[in-house]
Amino acid sequence: EVQLVQSGAEVKKPGESLKISCKGSGYSFSTYWIGWVRQMPGKGPEWMGIIFPGDSDTRYSPSFRGQVTLSADKSISTAYLQWSSLKASDTAIYYCARQRYSFHAQKFYGMDVWGQGTPVAVSS
């Protein structure tokens, strides 16, 4: 079964650092892009960026560039999303998802496999 399993819920204080994870199984992890999506309470999803675990090529949304860091360790089929200094406004559910891409057409398609989400609460 193809799946992405994310790390558990986090409760942090403003200014703290955090790294959450997303472990893939059932497919060749290094050959599919992994995307990260933020969903703030009661709001729609926001695309944060993607990483290609095979070579760690990364694309960030301008809204999130400099605010978070994407990384991946293909040897353990795991992608990461990290913050160096959290803010209260980072409170949200964070999803990882497999981002389909056609190397032949050089086009992205849908996000077809999703993790269960990692709730992050930041409060003093």
Partner 1 sequence: DIQMTQSPSSLSASVGDRVTITCRASQTISSQLNWYQQKPGKAPKLLIYAASSLHNEVPARFSGSGSGTDFTLTIGGLQPEDFAIYYCQQSDSPPLTFGGGTQVEMK
Contact 14, 84 (CB under 8 A): no
**Minimum Å distance from CB 117 to partner 1?**
6
Nearer to partner 1, 8 or 44 (CB): 44
- Beta carbon nearer to partner 1, 75 or 102: 102
Give CA separation, 92 vs 29, 33, 44, 54, 75, in Å: 26, 22, 11, 28, 29
- Our CB check for partner 1 shows the closer of 32 and 95 to be 95
Q: Length of the chain in residues, anyone?
A: 124
- The distance of closest approach from Cβ of residue 12 to partner 1 in the complex, given in angstroms and rounded to an integer, is 22
Nearer to partner 1, 8 or 110 (CB): 110
We find the least distance from the C-beta atom of residue 72 to partner 1, in angstroms, to be 17
Minimum separation from the CB atom of position 49 to partner 1 (A):
8
Binding site for partner 1 (CB under 8 A): 35, 37, 44-47, 49-50, 59-63, 95, 97, 99-100, 107-112, 114-117
Do 114 and 100 contact (CB within 8 A), yes or no? no
What token pair was written down for 102?
A: 């056609």
Nearest to 108 by CA among 35, 16, 27: 35
Q: What DSSP state is assigned to residue 14?
A: T
